[in-house]
Amino acid sequence: MKWLTETRATRRSLAEIGMLVVVREVFGNKLAITRQQADETLGRGWMALAKGLAKAGVVKLQITGERVRMSVVAAGDRRRERSRKAQRLKRAVDQFERERIFES
């Protein structure tokens, strides 16, 4: 759970850490529920916590009507995704080269 240190979540309150862990680990970093479901899942004070985390830049929060969308933003996510794409490309090129050698 490298993202906890990247977001400096350990400096936050236990309620904020709990919300981050639920959004990131339990919901796979894609929380999309209604406000009533959020009250039941995250507790009654979730809105103030979520707005505070969004203001700090730790969470992306979108509230439209009755729908709530939330995801945790970690600095290393983009770097890790670029690394994964580069590795996939390298494996694909290596596979292509091996097939080309065998065909010759």
Buried b (16+ CB within 10 A) or exposed e, 45-77: ebbebbebbbeeebbebeeeeeebebbbbbeeb
Q: What is the pLDDT of residues 13-27, one digit of tens each?
A: 888 888 888 898 899
Helix (H) or strand (E) holding 68: strand 67-72
Range of the structural domain that residue 79 is part of: 75-104
Q: What is the pLDDT of residues 17-73, one digit of tens each?
A: 888 888 988 999 899 999 999 999 888 889 999 999 999 888 899 999 999 999 988
**Is the domain of 12 the same as that of 27?**
yes
The pLDDT of residue 42 is: 87
**Is the domain of 68 the same as that of 79?**
no
**Is the domain of 45 the same as that of 83?**
no
**Is the domain of 27 the same as that of 68?**
yes
**Is the domain of 63 the same as that of 90?**
no
Give the total number of structural domains in the chain.
Answer: 2
